[in-house]
Structure 1
Amino acid sequence: MPLPLYLLAVAVFAMGTSEFMLAGLLPDIASDLHVTVGTAGALTSAFAIGMVVGAPLMAVLARHWPARSSLLGFVLVFLAAHAAGAATSSFRVLFATRAVAALANAGFLAVALTTAATLVPPGKKGRALAVLLSGTTVATVAGVPGGAVLGTLLDWRATFWAVAALCLPAAVGVLAGIPASRAEADDRGGPALRTELAQLKRPRLLLVMLLGALVNAATFASFTFLAPVVTDTAGLGELWVSVALVLFGCGSFVGVTVAGRLSDQRPGLVLVVGGPLLLAGWPALALLADKPVALLALVFAQGALSFALGGTLITRVLYEAADAPTMAGSYATAALNVGAALGPLAAAATLRTAIGDLGPLWTSGLLVALALVVAFPLRAVVADDRSTGALR
């Protein structure tokens, strides 16, 4: 894989740390800003909504900009938003900074996904996406737990400042990884915007976007509210939240790496085998959450399965949107973040019910079940393993 892919992954690491870090910080944010944990969970949804809206909007605005300039600008806006969030004492201001950061993240990821696809030969988009998403999975392994530890030892604001600082090497990575000459040469003489947007009328593209959104909704429904499960249901100390996040991140890295090697040629294998296992895992986690060893083992497994399925489905979005070369990345980003927005909202609604902290885990199971119900009538299409024709 080309070196620029790995340098783009450095920036994705910084942004992934920010997107996922709230899972370990929500209780402290809620306490400091005098809101409930459920209300604080809306920060995750604010970020995801900003990503959903920002992905196509930023992609449209940036489709005729040089790629390197676009990516650098998005990183710097992301840095400024986190500095403002770290300095505020208002939940509303913090909410707004999350939305702005999400717009910048959406623009970056939409352009980066499109750029990544152009850096590799046809038929290797899945592996390129796996490298790019490795920045996110490393964020869950190192960045997010590190942020949780930093938040525990200092406060949640220190974690926001740390993410802002991470943007500096990310900006250097963009400058070093995307040559200006290539960016100018890639200055996008592709199809008209109307032609690219018309791809959204294709049922198969909408199908894989919907499935990707449902799987990601299930992932974020539980991941956002994992901290109370670890501390309250399992009875572990606060530092064990970081352990659980590391295990989830390690699992996600394994899942996206394995799926990255299969999603180009064998997407059906990943989806047909991984889907039922993911469905079984969420209720199993809910039933065994009070047993620390089982909880931690299942967190690892669910991280692997969630990212294997999610990464495979997003790869299929890129293939299905091949005729929208400057917008395909935004379609993939939007699909991911529709799920990331709706999942925590659905999960938060269960926190005040009789099932309490376990509600998000059951919510995740229902969302995966819905995805499988939607996919089942089209299982023959899903099992089509041709790399450039799968799901067509």
Structure 2
Amino acid sequence: MPPVVPLLGTAVFAQGTSEFMVAGLVPDIASELSVSIPAAGLLTSAFAVGMAVGAPFMALLAMRWPRRLALVAFLAAFVVAHVVAAVTGSFEVLVATRVVGALANAGFLAVGLATVTSIVPPDAKGRALAVLLAGTTIACVAGVPGGAVLGGLWGWRSAFWAVALLCLPAIVAVLTSVPKDRSGATPPSARGEVRVLRRPRLLVVLLLGALVNGATFCSFTFLSPVLTDVAGIDAGWVPAMLALFGAGSFLGVRLAARWSDTRPGPVVVGGGTALAIGWVAFALASDNVVATVVLVPLLGMLAFAVGSTLIARVLYAGSDAPNLAGSFATASLNVGAAAGPWIGGITIAAGLGLSAPLWVSAALVTAALAIAALVRVTDAAMRSVTSPTSGPRSA
């Protein structure tokens, strides 16, 4: 694996920390800025909306930029957004910084995915993606609980300062490690790459990614109050529980890397089925400490194994759109990441309890499985109709 791939993963770690850390800071942000917990949970949705909307547009904007320049510019904008977030006293401004930071993150991921897939063998996209996504999963293991610890010691603002500082060495790494674009290379065609969205199979994979990621973020956003108010776990143990979820997600990405290039079907179907059952089990046993400690890392593993495999399938299905395929995957996942917490917040506000998002997560994964099964049955029926039933077999 080229050394630039793990170096880009360090930047993804800083950005992943920002995306996930709000889950451990929701109660403190809600208290200081005088908003409800569901409203504070929308900070995750705001980031996801920025990612969903920004991914394709930022990728289009940066298509003709030198990749090194684009990566540094997006990282710098990300730093500025977090500095503003750390000093503001307005919840509205905080929401705005989440959107701006997400736009910068989306642009960085789009260019980063294009860079990675252009320098690895054509059949190694899943493995390269696993290395890059390791930054996100390590953020769950260390960055997110670290943010929760900082929030407990010095307030939630310190977590935003920490993310801004984490990005500075990532900028240096990009400047020193990302190769320059080849001179004389043919400029990419935006219109040609956008045409891949006409492919039904690609659209189905994008939909599945949105549903699975929506399920993950629906529950993860409200995991902290579920742990403390439902399971009765002391608030001091929340960072450790978030680290368990992150450890599971890291393991899931690593395990999926073994099969996402060659046997994606069993990962998506088998892992998705186990994931749906797992969310139901968590909803039923969310007041049980032992069950919670077991299920949190297990669900992290399953969610990220299935999610990372779906991203890899998008890259394969859109292989002739090397600059935009990654942005389509990012957009679809973050449509889910925006919708999931929003739906979860609605169920809590409706008085259904803090465990309600767990049921929503189960429903979203079940819907993804149903769609995948329907598409498979439809494909089989179409093949049986169009396949010749008699006559000589073609060579």
Aligned position for 1:42: 42
Residues 280 and 212 from structure 1, CA distance in 2 versus in 1: closer, same or farther, beyond 3 angstroms? same
**Residue identity matched to 1:4:** V
Aligned position for 1:164: 164
The structural deviation recorded for 1:378 is 2.6
Residues 82 and 141 from structure 1, CA distance in 2 versus in 1: closer, same or farther, beyond 3 angstroms? same
**Residue identity matched to 1:212:** G
1:33-112 matches, within 5 Å, as 33-112=33-112
The yes-or-no answer on 1:378 pairing with 2:379 is: no
Which residue of 334, 359, 377 corresponds with 1:337? Answer: 334
Aligned position for 1:280: 277
What do the CA deviations read for 1:112-153 (whole angstroms, capped 9, x no partner)?
A: 111111121011100000000000000000000000011011
**Residue identity matched to 1:118:** S
Q: Distance in 2 between matches of 1:44 and 1:188?
A: 39
**Residue identity matched to 1:157:** R
Equivalent residue of 1:126, what SS?
helix
Which residue of 363, 366, 372 corresponds with 1:366? Answer: 363
**Residue identity matched to 2:88:** T
The question of whether the paired residues in 1 share the 8 Å contact of 2:38 and 2:349 is answered with no
Q: Distance in 2 between matches of 1:316 and 1:293?
A: 36
The structural deviation recorded for 1:381 is 9.2
Q: Distance in 2 between matches of 1:195 and 1:367?
A: 33
Aligned position for 1:199: 196
Aligned position for 2:134: 134
Equivalent residue of 1:323, what SS?
coil
Count of matched residue pairs = 380
Q: Distance in 1 between matches of 2:379 and 2:167?
A: 38
Equivalent residue of 1:263, what SS?
coil
Q: Distance in 1 between matches of 2:266 and 2:19?
A: 29
The structural deviation recorded for 1:191 is 4.7
Q: Distance in 2 between matches of 1:18 and 1:41?
A: 14
Q: Unpaired segments of 5 or more residues in structure 2?
A: 381-395
**Residue identity matched to 2:265:** G
**Residue identity matched to 1:287:** L
1:1-392 matches, within 5 Å, as 1-180=1-180, 183-185=181-183, 189=186, 191-379=188-376
The structural deviation recorded for 1:177 is 2.1
**Residue identity matched to 2:4:** P
The structural deviation recorded for 1:334 is 0.6
Q: Which moved more, 1:168-177 or 1:9-18?
A: 168-177
The question of whether the paired residues in 1 share the 8 Å contact of 2:54 and 2:107 is answered with yes
Equivalent residue of 1:65, what SS?
coil
Q: Unpaired segments of 5 or more residues in structure 1?
A: 384-392
The structural deviation recorded for 1:380 is 6.6
TM-score of the two chains, using structure 1 as the length reference: 0.95
The percent identity for this pair of structures is 58
**Residue identity matched to 2:158:** A
The question of whether the paired residues in 2 share the 8 Å contact of 1:218 and 1:343 is answered with yes
TM-score of the two chains, using structure 2 as the length reference: 0.94
Equivalent residue of 2:276, what SS?
helix
Q: Distance in 2 between matches of 1:132 and 1:81?
A: 23
Residues 146 and 95 from structure 1, CA distance in 2 versus in 1: closer, same or farther, beyond 3 angstroms? same
What do the CA deviations read for 1:47-79 (whole angstroms, capped 9, x no partner)?
A: 111111111111011001111110011001000
Q: Distance in 2 between matches of 1:151 and 1:26?
A: 10
